[in-house]
A and B are shown apart, each in its own frame.
Chain A
Amino acid sequence: MRRTYLGEFEELVLLTVAVLHESAYGVAIADGLEQQTARSVSLSAVHAALHRLQEKGMLSSRLGEATAERGGRRKRLFTVTALGSRTLHEVRQVREQLWASVSPQALPTFSV
């Protein structure tokens, strides 16, 4: 089965868009990612990833409303397309199959 390649950061961005559902735009996605991963995420990285994902057809976008703090500029709101959704599911399936095959003794224990 051949599917479009999805990078780790792209996958995270795509998932975050799904998490934010109807209100996914640059700053919100970056903030969400920062909270989840506890690492600082630059806007340009997010924008670049969004741009790539859109080119791959996994995201669609429309212009949303403007706010004062944005200096009257509109947001671009993203939603996951069917292709995006399928890709995410496939990635998840691969992971789960892999997890299922890992014997518990194979991984050393650690405490969080």
Chain B
Amino acid sequence: MKPTVPPRWAERLLTWFCAPHLLEEVQGDLHERFQRRVALAGERVARRQYAVEVLGFLRLFALKRRPDELFKPISINSLMLRNYFKIAGRNLIRHRAFSVLNIAGLALGMATSLIILLFVQDELSYDRFNEKADRIVRIVFKANINGGKINEAFVMPPTAQVLRNDYPEVQQATRLRNFGTPRVAVGNQFFVGDKLAYVDANFFEVFTIPFLKGNPKTALIQPNCVVISSELAQRYFGTENPIGNVLYFKKGSDKLPFRVTGVFDKIPSNAHFHFDLFGSMASDTEAASTSWLTSNYFTYLVLPEGYDYKQLEAKLPNMVETHMGPQILQAMGMSLAQFRTKGNQLGFQLQRLTDIHFNSNGSNELEAGSDLKYVYIFSAIAVFMLLIACINFINLSTAGASKRAREVGVRKVLGSAKLELVGQFLVESLLLTSIALVLTVGLLPLALPIFNDLAGKQLSLGLTTNPLILPGLLGVGLVVGLLAGIYPAFFLSSFKPVVVLKGRFAGSRNGFGLRSGLVIFQFSISICLIVGTITVYRQLAYIQHKKLGYDKEQLLVLENSWALGKNEAVLREQLLNDARVVNVTTSPYKPAGPTDSNNSLAYPEGNDAQLMRTLQYGIDDRYIPTMGMEMAAGRNFSEKLTTDSSGIIINEAAANAFGWGKNAVGHNVTRVVDNDGTKKVYRVIGVVKDFHFKSLHESITPLLMVYERNWGLIVKVKTTDMAGFLASLKTQWTQFGVEEPFTYAFMDELVDKTYQSEQKVGVILNSFALLTIFIACLGLFGLATFTAEQRTKEIGVRKVLGASVASIVGLLSKDFLKLVLVAMVLAAPIAWYAMNQWLQDFAYKIDLEWWVFALAGLLALLIALLTVSFQAIKAALMNPVKSLRSE
């Protein structure tokens, strides 16, 4: 029969709370009574009463420890501390290889996470340099017309004025109109590529852009005034004072004189716009328009301190009613109410200035924004990198525990308390981290330019200027040092001196489970990152090779051929006669990159309820063949038919949207031609097959093509010697004697540019994945080294008994490979979920196929195998005489 025992929990409780010097007698008495009660009243009663009695001992006298039973306070005395450093230093040097592995991993991890910290800080700092940053909002236009979504970052010309007049909470309203990059003439010099915007006179009262010369309040009141950046002032006028000088903007055949009235310092890189020139809005004739049917003006409002912009947003529908409604009625013969009953919506929204960077998703944004998602992803990567580096330290320290066991034993025998030992090991890990930190600081200036290049950022370390970097460095160092050191410290200091000093210490299996778990964790993350990288690259390749509906190869765009004037036609004829040229079209419309403001409202004739926003291309008869587009029905424009000026070609998406499907040819389309609501009716002569004119993030929307005289040449070339063709083209160009330099672009490059941000993410993710795997492999390499060392004798015996090298390598690698396999299984669902989320952003996307996961796993497996087998082979090739001799 099993001896009756008191309840275990009560026993444990008692041993925990009772002072050690009282425990023996108290427990003895309790047990004696318990045994008698079992005999008298039975086990159940005895056990219950035992518990009651134990609880009875929760008294001060039983809890109170004798002074010598308390933890000894850790004496931080300098002698001991010096000893810790000395021992730590000796250990670092004795185990050089592991120190290098640890330090390299930690330094890489810390450098990467600090760069990411800088990146995140920069991303979150957008537009905050403005003194009124918290009070500025931008008003944007959103509409849903016949199922087509409109989301525009700019609004109508009178919006700013109306808001300021009608709503007292709008303290200031200012507008900006993007004028692209006109050619600038200064004296007899020409400059290209500088960005111009027209802004209202109060622009610099809203945005904090410091002036070096001129008065920001008055500089832009007069028409034809311009303020320029200090860099441009230097470039345009050298050392001369630019104020009062005149420069000319040339766009098309226009040449507009502007007087320089101010010089501003450069716009910080973390602003959502970067213009080099600000012209006065008074010079823009359309700025005074009262039309609510045209948009072009980015409009920013300053609200009172502490005012919730949602309150103003709630009042905006009223503005639509009173100002936009009448004009819609006039232009479309339909009131807003009628318009809405058909499920259409339109209205304004406000965006906080500081949110614009992460919400630049409207059409016609000034600059490509960013996505908060990437801030999260990169932050997560930073944390994981640090964790992986810490794990290396933990794994190597605990695996090498046997080497320190004797030291711990001796220290304990000589009177070290456990906490003192913990302190000692923490000193060691902090020392290691400090060395890594120094290395990090050395590494950062080298790594930052590379990252800036990849991410298109201008981050600088700013040890002295950035208030976050020093605390960041020290904080990361301290956290990493403690995180990495705390577990090994407790693990190592818990050894029992008796066991350790008797030499019966089986160190290698201690903490084996934990180490396995940590290795699995490291490799799960690595595999996730590999899957991520492969998926991003596959999606990019898919985009680049997807049939766009036209042929982007060897398509040369000569956008500024307008400069040739009537000679453009001459050049076109010359090109058409060139054997290397397949076709030439005169049209500025490229199915890639940002589409200029060429939106237009249209509806099937007689059915204005179907009014919708379409994109409009003005093309000639050679456009469709030059681009390699195909007709789904009907015919192309023809030079010979004068009626084609009222003909129209629509894409399949438009044919479907208008409800005609395959029978579109012959129907009529009514198009709102200008801002005043003038309409013109076109007859559909053909339907072009759908082609992608936006990025593959978006679906194909309705497109109308009209026969129109235009500027700009697009040339389809067929040659193996593109350089030679370009050279001869340049000669032809210069023969016309125009000042405009010969510039060109390739269509496929323009298409690629649309996916710049994805490409950046791809490259960054790839580098992070590589780094992560590298750090994880450092740890694995260390572990493999330990295992090989510990099993030297075993390997020797096996070899003597006839084991082959291959079988020994397999023996040593097997354990690690198992871990990687488990990591693969764990990582697959996480990676699948994450990448599925990322792909949701694309209207056209790849499928996540199983082989990607298999490939990622295989890669990880291969890398792990390479890492481990180096040590394994080394161990297996060792002469058994050497390893067995020393017994």
Contacts and interface: CB of A to CB of B under 8 A. Distances in A.
A76 B61 CA distance: 16
B32 A27 contact: yes
B497 to A, nearest CB: 25
A69 B35 contact: yes
Contacts of B62: 44, 47-48
Contacts of B790: none
A75 B28 contact: yes
Given A51-B61, A52-B61, A74-B24, A44 B31 contact: no
A45 interface: yes
B556 interface: no
> Chain A binding site: helix, strand, loop or mixed by DSSP?
helix
Contact of A69 (B22, B32, B56, B61): B32
Contact of B53 (A42, A48, A74): A42
Nearest to A70: B28
Contacts of B61: 47-48, 51-52
B53 A25 contact: no
A43 B30 contact: yes
A95 interface: no
B235 interface: no
B662 to A, nearest CB: 95
Interface string B23-41: 0111111111101100000
B25 A67 contact: no
A74 B28 contact: yes
Interface in B36-52: 36
A66 interface: yes
Contact of B25 (A45, A71, A76): A76
B28 A73 contact: yes
A100 B32 CA distance: 43
B502 to A, nearest CB: 25
B838 interface: no
Contact of A70 (B32, B57, B59): B32
Contact of B31 (A42, A71, A76): A71
A74 to B, nearest CB: 6
Given A27-B33, A44-B62, A52-B61, A73 B56 contact: no
B390 to A, nearest CB: 45
A26 interface: yes
A47 B29 contact: yes
Contacts of B32: 27, 67, 69-70
A67 B53 CA distance: 20
B242 to A, nearest CB: 94
A17 B783 CA distance: 65
A35 B437 CA distance: 74
Nearest to B64: A51
Contacts of A45: 56
Contact of A73 (B27, B33, B36, B53): B27
Contacts of A70: 28-29, 31-32
B216 to A, nearest CB: 83
Contact of A71 (B22, B27, B53, B56): B27
A57 to B, nearest CB: 16
Contacts of A75: 25, 28-29
Contact of B29 (A25, A48, A52): A25
Most chain A CB atoms below 10 A, which of B29, B36, B61: B29
A45 B30 CA distance: 12
A73 B61 CA distance: 20
Contacts of B56: 42-45
Interface string B530-571: 000000000000000000000000000000000000000000
A48 B31 CA distance: 18
Contacts of A73: 24-25, 27-28, 31
Given A27-B33, A69-B31, A44 B59 contact: yes
B1 to A, nearest CB: 16
Interface in A34-71: 42-45, 47-48, 51-52, 63, 66-67, 69-71
A45 B53 CA distance: 10
Contacts of A43: 26, 29-30, 33, 53, 56-57
B7 to A, nearest CB: 14
B29 A27 contact: yes
A26 B25 contact: yes
Contacts of B53: 42-44
B25 A74 contact: yes
B30 to A, nearest CB: 6
Contacts of A74: 24-25, 28
B28 A71 contact: yes
Nearest to B25: A76
A66 B29 CA distance: 11
Interface string A66-95: 110111011110000000000000000000
Contacts of A51: 22, 61
B460 to A, nearest CB: 69
B33 A44 contact: no
A6 to B, nearest CB: 17
B483 to A, nearest CB: 43
A48 B25 contact: no
A27 B36 CA distance: 11
Contact of A26 (B29, B35, B36, B59): B29
Contacts of A25: 25, 29
Contacts of B25: 25-26, 47, 63, 73-76
A66 B61 CA distance: 23
B495 to A, nearest CB: 28
A40 B500 CA distance: 50
B339 to A, nearest CB: 86
Nearest to B27: A73
Contacts of A67: 32
Contacts of A42: 53, 56
A44 B62 CA distance: 9
Nearest to A77: B25
Interface string B7-30: 000000000000000101111111
A70 B22 CA distance: 15
Contacts of B27: 71, 73
Considering the complex of A and B, which 10 residue pairs feature the smallest CB-CB distances, nearest first? A73-B28, A44-B56, A26-B29, A70-B28, A76-B25, A69-B35, A44-B57, A51-B61, A71-B31, A27-B32
19 contacts: A25-B29, A26-B25, A30-B29, A30-B33, A43-B53, A44-B53, A44-B56, A44-B57, A44-B59, A47-B26, A51-B61, A63-B25, A69-B31, A71-B31, A74-B24, A74-B28, A75-B25, A75-B28, A75-B29
Interface of A: 25-27, 30, 42-45, 47-48, 51-52, 63, 66-67, 69-71, 73-76
Given A42-B56, A44-B59, A66-B28, 8 more contacts: A30-B29, A43-B29, A43-B56, A44-B57, A47-B57, A48-B59, A48-B61, A74-B25
Interface of B: 22, 24-33, 35-36, 53, 56-57, 59, 61-62
